[in-house]
């Protein structure tokens, strides 16, 4: 009922009615305190004392009107606790002291101090209140050095029950400490970033990964389960950062990406540091920039979904996982944009984009894009080449790795050309014979979606907030070797018995089987990405990280690329089971429905432009062999061998057949046997190899 109606004269039937209605224009009754009566606020028609109908009202053609039901308004949002309140909960009764006041009267600067656990923390600000707040922030930051709440509680002298179950729906430990920093409980204000595709922030959204991860986030300690939805009081990172540092200005840096996957970059300067964030719109990019600042300066990790957390590598950590992942993805997409005239070229059409980035130190700005490729199809059996002139597998990540092989040949040739160029090469002589990579040279593989096979089959959607990882890790289908379908998309499990493919069988119509990308990446994590031929010259080379642009699920990806063969045994020296960093990106790429193109494109650093390959024939549209084919690589290998025959890691007397030369890499072949045994021992099936005839060629043919 509109507010103006309350002024109309009443026809009162009893004194009770008068008492019931006389308060309308003044203060609301106790049961609705705090809600207030505004324009258009409906009044109650509930039971009990307020069950009487409103008396007849004059006017409106004599029709009687009854008071409509009063809807209960949900209480206003609970404001998140600031640092002072958080600190007071942990250490009640702290005394703040004014240390100094400087500056002119119109712009004073106060310094306040507080002593916590025998340590003094100082904060400054234009008012005493802000100075106290900054001191409290510093004190809180000194506590937030533990990967999870349980360790923080123990450090504060608060004990947890011995049998705390971190996977239960109700965690049985106190939740008052670091409400704003840990996975929140519904009663307090959580720090979440949700993006609902349109850049809005709300419940049930696609929660973005933090743009910047701090050291504590590298820990894979179990976390208490997060509430599946943010509470009504959930604030986005821009609001949270604005409360901590009011008046910040966000700067628009760039716009890039294809129409279905636009990418905007925004930046914000906080406390003398600049933080960048990217997203499918400016609003989301601002939120990611704020999120990055909150993670770095205030240790606030806004996304604790277990299956979306980066899985750190066991090796050298030169970069923060999320910063590296986002930088690598952006470099590859930007390079593809350059090569396709801002995605306007007909060859920009693609389902999957992959690329490899090389870093040579701790600064991601020094990174170099080595290769870019697209593709989702394999060769048709009738087009197989017995001279190594056709590409068998044109899936984007497989082609990206072949581009890397081309780059490695170039770097070896550079080392062997003259003394001056030796310094420019990424290779140095190894004490054990042959060559090895210079220190800190790392390669990072980016794929726009999860690799086909075991990594993708169980993760068809983005990880949701409630996803607590793989719920059925022991199902028989998990980890099975799978093969791609000839001339199509998708994969099928290998047969339980060993499959031997024959040349004449395939030519007569038997479907050519190619191992899935998940299986090939697992193979690279044991044998290295250099392959059999180059292993005669160089020590095994492994990816330092694998970054997915969409459909990243930590559990499924880690199982697919190394965990399922964790029991591998008897590997020869220098070979190992590599466990690279695994990560998604902050701005996950949208799914692209529709038919995949039949072509695959590739580019390697140093190339003038893209090479376009017909995936069905494994050659270009003119029927010419690709620059990435076996024949081209074997030619380059022979030229290097002529110069290096005295310093091979394994001796090859007189190279002839391509197949025989590969077999001469004895350590590599031993490692391959160990890999195949590990798959069989784990009950995951037998590796399917191509017909042997396709490698029985020499360069004299």
Of the candidates 254, 260, 447, the residue with the CA atom closest to the CA atom of residue 343: 260
* Contacts with 91 (C-beta within 8 Å, 6 or more apart), sequence order: 116, 117
* Contacts with 188 (C-beta within 8 Å, 6 or more apart), sequence order: 78, 80, 81, 175, 179, 180
* Contacts with 278 (C-beta within 8 Å, 6 or more apart), sequence order: 211, 263, 264, 265, 266, 285, 288, 326, 330, 586, 587
> Please, how many CA atoms are within 13 Å of residue 571, restricted to the half-sphere of its CB?
22
Q: Could you write out the three-class secondary structure of 555-585?
A: HHHHHHHCHHHCCCCCCCCCCCCCCCEEECC
Of the candidates 149, 237, 227, 221, the residue with the CA atom closest to the CA atom of residue 188: 227
- Candidate list 20, 57, 182, 397, residue with the active-site label: 397
> Please, how many CA atoms are within 13 Å of residue 226, restricted to the half-sphere of its CB?
31
H runs (alpha helix) in 473-603 = 503-507, 517-527, 531-534, 554-561
Query: What is the helix (H) or strand (E) element at residue 298, kind and residue range?
Result: helix 282-298
Of the candidates 384, 377, 421, 679, the residue with the CA atom closest to the CA atom of residue 525: 679
Of the candidates 516, 73, 584, the residue with the CA atom closest to the CA atom of residue 307: 584
**CA distances in angstroms from 194 to 200, 263, 310, 429, listed in the order given:** 7, 17, 18, 50
State how beta strands 611-614 and 599-604 pair.
Answer: antiparallel
The DSSP letter of residue 546 is E
The DSSP letter of residue 69 is P
The reply to whether 397 belongs to the active site is yes
Which residues on neighbouring strands pair with residue 279, listed in sequence order?
A: 264
Q: 386: buried, middle or exposed (CB in 10 Å: 19+, 13-18, 0-12)?
A: middle
* Contacts with 596 (C-beta within 8 Å, 6 or more apart), sequence order: 350, 351, 376, 377, 489
State how beta strands 435-437 and 273-279 pair.
Answer: unpaired
Separation CA 61–CA 445 (nearest Å):
77
User: Catalytic residue positions?
Assistant: 397
């Amino acid at each position: 009922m509109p507010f103006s109606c309350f002024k109309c004269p009443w026809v009162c039937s009893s004194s009770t009615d008068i008492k019931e209605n006389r308060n309308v224009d003044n203060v609301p009754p106790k049961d609705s305190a705090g809600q207030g009566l505004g324009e258009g606020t409906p009044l109650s028609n509930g039971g009990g004392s307020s069950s009487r109908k409103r008396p007849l009202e004059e006017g409106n053609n004599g029709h009687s009107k009854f008071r409509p039901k009063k809807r209960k308004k949900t209480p206003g949002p609970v404001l998140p606790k600031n640092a002072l309140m958080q600190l007071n909960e942990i250490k009640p009764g702290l005394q703040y002291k004014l240390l100094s006041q400087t500056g002119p009267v119109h712009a004073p600067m106060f310094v306040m101090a507080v002593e916590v656990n025998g340590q003094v923390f100082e904060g400054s600000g234009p008012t005493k209140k802000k100075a106290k707040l900054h001191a409290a922030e510093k004190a809180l930051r000194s506590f937030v050095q533990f990967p999870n709440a349980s360790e923080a509680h123990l450090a504060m002298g608060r004990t947890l029950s011995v049998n705390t179950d971190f996977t239960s729906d109700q965690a049985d430990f106190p939740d008052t400490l670091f409400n704003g920093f840990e996975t929140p409980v519904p009663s307090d204000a959580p720090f979440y970033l949700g993006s609902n595709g349109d850049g809005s922030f709300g419940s049930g959204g696609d929660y973005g990964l933090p743009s910047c991860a701090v050291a504590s986030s590298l820990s894979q300690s179990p976390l208490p389960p997060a509430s599946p939805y943010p509470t009504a009081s959930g604030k986005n990172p821009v609001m949270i950062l604005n409360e901590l540092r009011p008046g910040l200005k966000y700067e628009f840096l760039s716009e890039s990406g294809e129409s279905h996957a636009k990418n905007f970059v925004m930046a914000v300067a906080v406390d003398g540091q600049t933080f960048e964030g990217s997203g499918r719109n400016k609003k989301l990019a601002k939120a990611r920039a704020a999120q990055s600042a909150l993670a770095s300066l205030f240790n606030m990790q806004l996304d604790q979904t277990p299956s979306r957390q980066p899985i750190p590598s066991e090796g050298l950590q030169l970069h923060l996982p999320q910063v590296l992942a986002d930088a690598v993805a952006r470099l590859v997409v930007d390079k593809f944009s350059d090569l396709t005239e801002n995605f306007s070229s007909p060859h920009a059409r693609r389902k999957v984009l992959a690329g490899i980035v090389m870093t040579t130190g701790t600064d991601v700005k020094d990174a170099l894009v080595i290769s870019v490729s697209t593709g989702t199809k394999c060769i048709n059996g009738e087009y197989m080449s017995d001279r190594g002139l056709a590409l068998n597998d044109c899936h984007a990540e497989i082609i990206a790795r072949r581009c890397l092989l081309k780059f490695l040949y170039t770097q070896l040739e550079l080392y062997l050309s003259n003394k001056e160029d030796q310094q420019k090469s990424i290779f140095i002589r190894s004490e054990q014979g042959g060559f090895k990579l210079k220190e800190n040279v790392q390669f990072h593989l980016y794929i726009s979606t999860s690799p086909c096979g075991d990594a993708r089959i169980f993760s068809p959607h983005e990880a949701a907030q409630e996803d607590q990882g793989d719920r059925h890790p022991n199902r028989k289908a998990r980890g099975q070797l799978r093969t791609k379908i000839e001339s199509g998309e998708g994969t099928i499990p290998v047969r339980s018995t060993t499959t031997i493919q024959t040349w004449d069988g395939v030519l007569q119509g038997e479907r050519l089987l190619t191992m899935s990308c998940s299986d090939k990446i697992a193979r690279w994590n044991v044998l290295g990405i250099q392959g059999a031929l180059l292993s005669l010259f160089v020590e095994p080379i492994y990816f330092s990280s694998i970054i997915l642009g969409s459909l990243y699920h930590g559990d499924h990806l880690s199982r697919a690329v190394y965990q399922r063969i964790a029991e591998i045994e008897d590997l020869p020296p220098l070979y190992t089971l590599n466990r690279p960093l695994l990560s998604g990106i902050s701005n996950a790429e949208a799914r692209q429905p529709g038919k995949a193109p039949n072509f695959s494109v590739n580019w390697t650093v140093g190339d003038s432009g893209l090479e376009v390959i017909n995936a069905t024939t494994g050659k270009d549209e003119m029927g010419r062999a690709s620059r990435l084919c076996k024949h081209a690589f074997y030619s380059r290998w022979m030229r290097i061998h002529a110069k290096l025959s005295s310093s091979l890691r394994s001796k090859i007397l007189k190279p002839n057949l391509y197949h025989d030369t590969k077999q001469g890499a004895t350590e590599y072949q031993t490692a391959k046997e160990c890999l195949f045994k590990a798959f069989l021992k784990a009950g995951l099936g037998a590796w399917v190899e191509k017909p042997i005839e396709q490698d029985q060629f020499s360069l004299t043919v």
